[in-house]
Amino acid sequence: MSKQKYLVDEEGEVSEKVKQCNETTGGGAEGKGKSYFFSASKVFLRLLSPTRGKVLKAIKQADVEGLKALHEAGEDVVGCVYENKLTALHKACDLGHTSVVSCLVDFGAKINAADQQLWTPLHFAVQETHHACLRVLLNAGADVNLRNRAGATALHMAVINKDTVSLALLIRFKANINSKTESGLTPVRLAKATDSEKCLWILEKVVKVEVMGKMMSREDKQSMLDQYLDAQMHDVLQDPNS
């Protein structure tokens, strides 16, 4: 996966605000002072660990047994740090190896670990439309509302990708549909800017349910919301490997 994609590149020409949002995703000021120096030194020492190469090889090959062997041998499998502060879990979510993601989660990997651009494993799973990985992270308690340096949540990325399945899954796990990027873009505004009609339809239905929900019981409100979301998640719910 090219981290240069971030939000919009694959969508071509869209609104200027969306372009600005895309640009800020790759930015971010470097830390300064002593705290940054010691933090960088700590990361550098971890980069020298011989375990890193073994773990990365196992992740790329989706070698769960290999990871288990390393873990049982006392190797710090989940603590490996790679370029740009990427963790083993980031790598696995980027590649879409669900069995590896599940394995790392079971070993205690930090679900909400952030890289230099504040991307979490959840951001990677959604960016690459790895639905099964996304479900593992969500069921493990991943925070759906964490923002990267551009202020984008996983929900924003689902909209940009026109990925209704990820969108519906994130909403079901309480993603904030009103979250704004640093450029002031909500998921609804992004959907309009990128002509993500199906995503926009879902988001507007959710807004409608929120408004109507004020006059409904919690059960009826949830039932109505589930009806809208189930249609989008039908295939992925039927096939756990999708």
Q: Are residues 219 and 137 in the same domain?
A: no
Q: Are residues 100 and 128 in the same domain?
A: yes
Mind listing the pLDDT tens digit for each residue in 203-242?
988 887 776 656 667 676 667 667 767 765 554 444 444 4
Mind listing the pLDDT tens digit for each residue in 68-83?
999 999 999 999 999 9
Q: Are residues 83 and 138 in the same domain?
A: yes
Q: Is the pLDDT of residue 4 over 90?
A: no
Q: Are residues 80 and 166 in the same domain?
A: no
State pTM to two decimals.
Answer: 0.74
DSSP string, 50-114: THHHHHHHHHHTT-HHHHHHHHHTT--STT-B-GGG-BHHHHHHHHT-HHHHHHHHHTT--TT--
Q: Are residues 86 and 163 in the same domain?
A: no
- Residue 43 main-chain phi, psi, to 5 deg: -65, -40
Q: Are residues 112 and 178 in the same domain?
A: no
Cβ neighbourhood burial of 238 (10 Å; 0-12, 13-18, 19+): exposed
Residues 6+ apart with CB under 8 A from 124: 1, 90, 93, 94, 130
Domain that holds residue 209: 159-242
Give the HSE-up count for residue 187: Cα atoms under 13 Å, Cβ half-sphere: 32
Q: What pLDDT does 219 receive?
A: 73
The Cα-based distances of 210 to 42, 79, 139, 159 in angstroms read 46, 41, 24, 19
Bridge partners of residue 81, in order along the sequence: 87
Confirm whether 81 is domain-assigned.
yes
Confirm whether 68 is domain-assigned.
yes
Q: Are residues 163 and 93 in the same domain?
A: no
Residues 6+ apart with CB under 8 A from 128: 1, 93, 94, 96
Mind listing the pLDDT tens digit for each residue in 96-125?
999 999 999 999 999 999 999 999 999 999
Confirm whether 32 is domain-assigned.
no
Domain finish residue from 143, 174, 208: 143
Q: Are residues 46 and 96 in the same domain?
A: yes
Reduced to 3 states (helix: H, G, I; strand: E, B; else coil), residue 207 is helix
Q: Are residues 181 and 109 in the same domain?
A: no
The Cα-based distances of 93 to 21, 79, 120, 161 in angstroms read 23, 16, 10, 16
Q: Are residues 66 and 136 in the same domain?
A: yes
- Residue 239 main-chain phi, psi, to 5 deg: -120, 100
Q: Are residues 130 and 219 in the same domain?
A: no
Total number of domains constituting the chain: 2
Domain finish residue from 143, 174, 197: 143
Q: Are residues 57 and 116 in the same domain?
A: yes
- CATH, residue 77: 1.25.40.20
